[in-house]
Structure formats: C-alpha cells, structure tokens
Chains A and B, each alone.
Chain A
Amino acid sequence: MSAPLLAVSDVHISYGKVEAVRSVSLDVSANQIVTIIGANGAGKTTLLNAIMGILPLKGRVTFGGEDMTSFDIEDRVAAGLSLVPEHRELFGTMNVEDNLQLGAFRIAKATAAQSFERVYTLFPRLKERRKQLAGTLSGGEQQMLAMGRALMGAPKLLMLDEPSLGLAPIIVSDIFRTVGELRAAGVSVLLVEQNAQAALKIADHAYVMELGEFVLDGPAAEIATNQQVVASYLGFQHA
C-alpha cells in the first residue's frame, strides 16, 4: 500500500493549560472515508481544526507526503485540504453563486467552471437557489452549500465536521449519500460525526475518541459491532 494521503502523528492540542487532545495519530489513504466518532467534548472538532491549521498543535501533520505542520490555513487549502466546519462559516450576505465562486479562489478560472458543473450536479438544489443569499437558505441547503464551496477548490481530502448537525433525517441521508459519491469521484473524506450509526455505515475505517484520546480504531464494520462502542454510542438500549 502506498503512503497515506494524510498522516497525523502524535498530535497534542492545548487551550492554555488545558490539553484537549493527547497523543493522537491517524491516517487517511486515497479514496478512503475515515470517521472519528465520540461524545460531545471529546476533542473531535478541536482535532479537525488543528489539522486545518486553525488551532496550533504539537506533533506532525503530513499531507501528500509533504510536512505541513508549519503551513498557514491558506497553504493547506492550496495543497488540497479542505474543511467544512461545524458552523459552516458561509458568507451569509453573499449569494450562493458568489459563495461557490469564492470556493474556487485558489484555482484557475477554467477549472472553476468545471467545478461549478460538478457541484451543481451533486447538489441540484444549489443551482435552483444560485441567486439567493446564503444566510437565507435552510439548514440543509446551507450544509450543501458549505460542502459545495469546499468542493469548488477541487480538494484531495475533504474534512466534514458534524454534517448532519440539526438536519432532518431525509436531508441527512442525502448528505451521506453524497459523501459516498465523493469517494467514488476520487475525493477522500475525514468525517467527524455524532450520528455514529450513519457514519460507520459509509466509512472504511473508524476511530473512537474519548476525552481527547483515541481509545479504539479499526475497519468501520468491526467498530460498528464492537460491544463497547455499541453500548456507548450506538444507542443505549444495551446500556
């Protein structure tokens, strides 16, 4: 097997004196969906933000074989890493098309046209609403726009932070189907999700995070049947 696309090794992240993430390592290979599951406050969002360069970390992050621990966010974007953050961070007072166009800020104009094509095919709803202000979209459409904006930059790895947060089940299943389609199209996905059931269903590999540490990892199918995981995250009927 070739070297992983994203390799995170021995990462520590602190807020002031409080260490939120301790000694975490993870790999994402090309064409792979990897998920991190865990309770609120376990440090999942913190970890994604640090991989993106929003928070400082101790340790090493390599992407496509290049050490990018000291890169700015913007350089990581240029290298092909993209994050759809928990709060989506859209440009609320700009319309859908402008949001998408800015998603292609780092890439050539010709490529951007193809990206538009691709995003509108994945999310036909966005095409219908292309002149609407992002802030006036429904929650599900905002999530689609956030993912669409990230895809406009033609990333190699897409990191999704709680894409199902606050969305109706029918939209959640749409979003997860799209994630599966992305892998088919050659984009790797690192998915942080509270809806562990749904995440484990589409993922290839899974990590379980508790109090800032990975306590378990393995193929998603195995994790989904692990007694401990079932008890803690997949519903409490067995608790």
Chain B
Amino acid sequence: MKTYQKMLMIVAALSLGLLFMYPMWMIQLQAPQYPEGLELHIWVNKLGGSTEGVLQNFNILNHYIGMEPIHADSFAELRFMPYIVVAFMVTGVLVALIGKRKLVLAWTVLLMLSGAAGILDFYLWLVKFGTNLDPMAAIKVPGMTYIPPLLGSKTMLNFDALSLPALGSLGIFLAITFSGLVYFFSLKDQVSKPIIKQKEVLVS
C-alpha cells in the first residue's frame, strides 16, 4: 500500500471520532403546541436533545399512550458501543500501519456490518417502544402503534415525527467511504500489473 493510501486509511479510522462529537441520529417531534419542536438525539454513548429536559418531555408525552419511559440506562448498547467504536478506530490505524489490503477489506466489511447491525438494532428498539404499550394507558387508539420512522417523517396523533441521521453517522459513512477507496485504489495498483501482462500475452 502506498503512503497516501495508508494516510487515507488513518483518516478513515479517525473519522469515526465524529461519533463522540455529534449524535448519530435524531428524532424530531413537531406539534402545534411545540412550535419550537422537540429533538431527541441518539449518541453512541448517551441520549440527549435540543434542551436539557428533552428526554423527560418525550417521556411525559409518551406516557399518555402507555409507552415505556426511555432512559439511557435501558440501553446496554450505549455502554458497549463506545468500546466498539474505539476498537474500530484502533484497528483501523493498525490496518493502515500494516498496509495489507485484505485487512482493509475485512475492516471495511466489518464496519459496514456493524453499521447495519446498529441500524437494525435501532429499528427493533423503535418497534419495541412503539408497540409495547401499557394496556392501562390513558389514551388508547384502537389499532394504533407508535413506531417512529427509522428515516423520514410520519404523523402520529398530533405529532409529526421526523427521523434523520445526524453528523455522528457521517463519521461511519466517511470511514466506510475512505477505507473502501483505499481498498479500491490498492486493488487497482495490484491488478494493473497482471492486466498489462495479459495484454502482452494477448498481443504476443
């Protein structure tokens, strides 16, 4: 692997650091009496929001329909995910230093799988919260579930929910893109020679 590719691989590994600086995902609720909106931010290691009290405000609204209160403590993911991210960052840098393109591929694929697993996990949580409703809830709308959208918007009673990846996810996206590019470029470097040989053979 060439030096620039190693550098790019290091950048790929380090861009995961965005996950610690910005939330991964955000769910925004809008309603007539919430002109300023309510934003729940999902970080790799915590839950946050547009204001300090946002989680409490989500829970207050959700309790009328019998949704379980959301607490950071309920998600084991928030405890172990940071370690996974750090592990990816460290191994990414190691892969860059070792400079083996197969390792780059393996790292990239693993990261993609982890990302997909993360999104799936997130979706399962949304389904769990949206469907596991207390039968004693004050507001019961027959047949209604409250699964927030994974991506995009959805109207639930008086609320418009909008779910979007946030800047932290860009870190994963960049890491996959960069490491993919590294693999692609190094592949070209390696493959280009045999092709020339083949051509030579053909020509001769």
A and B assemble together? no
